[in-house]
């Protein structure tokens, strides 16, 4: 079992729809959770962090964490073509080192 | 600009040569992480360093790979006697935090694309 698993995708949604990206992790001791966006040929960019159960909203992005189910998700509302990218889920057991999932590629169609 | 600086952006090496990848962390950050990314794959952890210390090198291959972060100057990832399988994008990231502090995630550099021919 991988430490961090994401739906491989690709995920395609129409412009204006909600995109839902999912991630599960294996270590119950995980403390910090992150979502990064990576455009093709570019480096990852941090877009969301979450540390406690529940929802965290930032603009069109909402991160959701459920530690009991070892599940973290990212919702993108009103999806735009510029949101088309690969989204990486990252999990930290201890401060510092992040373990990344293999990413989900999202395509938002105009 | 105080972002994470990596160089070179692109590096071509023949099999058997050495590759040296450099990373200067963001201003105020004292922790550096190196990751490798193969095409269509996720980021694989290699090594976590603090100034003059290797904190975690559990992702580093046992042979040919080494990393350092000296008191002065950038962090260096060194690959000796490169092989075609070393061809990948190598990303450096930095954070301001130590092991007992809250994580705020990474700032990544633009990466070094290594091609071994």
CB-based contacts of A14, cutoff 8 Å, min separation 6: A79, A108, A109
Asked if pLDDT for residue A22 goes beyond 60, the answer is yes
Q: How far is CA B22 from CA A52, A59, B29, B51, in A?
A: 36, 35, 16, 14
**Which residue matches tokens 């491989």?**
A8
Q: What's the CA gap between B24 and B66, in Å, rounded? A: 17
Which residues in chain B have their CB less than 8 angstroms from residue A98's CB? Answer: 33, 45, 103, 105-106
CB-based contacts of B24, cutoff 8 Å, min separation 6: B4, B5, B6, B74, B75
Residue B86 three-state SS: helix
Q: Which residue of B has its CA nearest to A104?
A: B42
Q: How far is A94 from chain B (nearest CA, A)?
A: 7
Q: Give A76-85 pLDDT, tens digit per residue.
A: 999 999 999 9
What is the number of alpha carbons within 13 Å of residue A16 lying toward its C-beta?
1
pLDDT value of position B78: 98
Please, which pLDDT band fits residue A43 given cuts at 50, 70 and 90?
Answer: very high
For B51-55, which contacts have Cβ atoms below 8 Å and span 24 or more sequence positions?
A: B55/A96, B55/B31, B55/B99
Residue B76 three-state SS: strand
Q: Which residue of B has its CA nearest to A10?
A: B40
pLDDT along chain B (117 residues), means of 10: 89 98 92 92 92 93 95 95 97 79 84 97
Q: Give A53-87 pLDDT, tens digit per residue.
A: 999 999 999 999 999 999 999 999 999 999 999 99
Report the residue from B101, B108, B110 with minimal CB separation from A95: B101
- Structure-block tokens of residue B2: 């105080």
Which residues in chain A have their CB less than 8 angstroms from residue B43's CB? Answer: 44, 88, 100
Q: Counting beta carbons within 10 angstroms of the beta carbon of residue B59, is it exposed (0 to 12), middle (13 to 18) or buried (19 or more)? A: middle
> Contact A96/B99, CB-based, under 8 Å?
yes
With an 8 Å Cβ cutoff, the interface of chain A facing chain B consists of 31-32, 34, 36, 42-46, 49, 51, 88, 90, 92, 94-103
pLDDT value of position B102: 66
Which residues in chain A have their CB less than 8 angstroms from residue B98's CB? Answer: 95-96
> Contact B103/A42, CB-based, under 8 Å?
no
> Contact A97/B44, CB-based, under 8 Å?
no
Which residues, listed in sequence order, are joined to residue B115 by a DSSP beta bridge? Answer: B12
CB-based contacts of B66, cutoff 8 Å, min separation 6: B60, B77, B78, B80
pLDDT value of position A24: 97
């Amino acid at each position: 079992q991988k430490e961090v698993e994401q739906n491989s995708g690709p995920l395609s949604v129409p412009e204006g729809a909600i995109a839902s990206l999912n991630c599960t992790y294996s270590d119950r001791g995980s403390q910090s959770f992150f979502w990064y966006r990576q455009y093709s040929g570019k480096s990852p960019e941090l877009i969301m962090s979450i540390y406690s159960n529940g929802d965290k909203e930032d603009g069109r992005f909402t991160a959701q964490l459920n530690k009991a189910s070892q599940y973290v998700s990212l919702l993108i509302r009103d999806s735009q073509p510029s949101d088309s990218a690969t989204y990486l889920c990252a999990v930290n057991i201890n401060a510092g080192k992040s373990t990344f999932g293999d990413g989900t590629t999202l395509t938002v169609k105009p | 600009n105080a972002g994470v600086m990596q160089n070179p952006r692109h590096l071509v090496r023949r099999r058997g040569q050495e590759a040296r990848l450099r990373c200067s962390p963001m201003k105020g950050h004292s922790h550096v992480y190196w990751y490798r990314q193969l095409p269509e794959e996720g980021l694989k952890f290699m090594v976590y360093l603090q100034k003059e210390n290797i904190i975690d090198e559990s992702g580093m291959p046992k042979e040919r790979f080494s990393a350092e972060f000296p008191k002065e100057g950038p962090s260096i990832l060194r690959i000796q006697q490169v092989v075609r399988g070393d061809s990948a994008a190598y990303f450096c990231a930095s954070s301001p935090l130590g092991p007992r502090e809250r994580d705020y995630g990474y700032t990544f550099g633009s990466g070094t694309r290594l091609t071994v021919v």
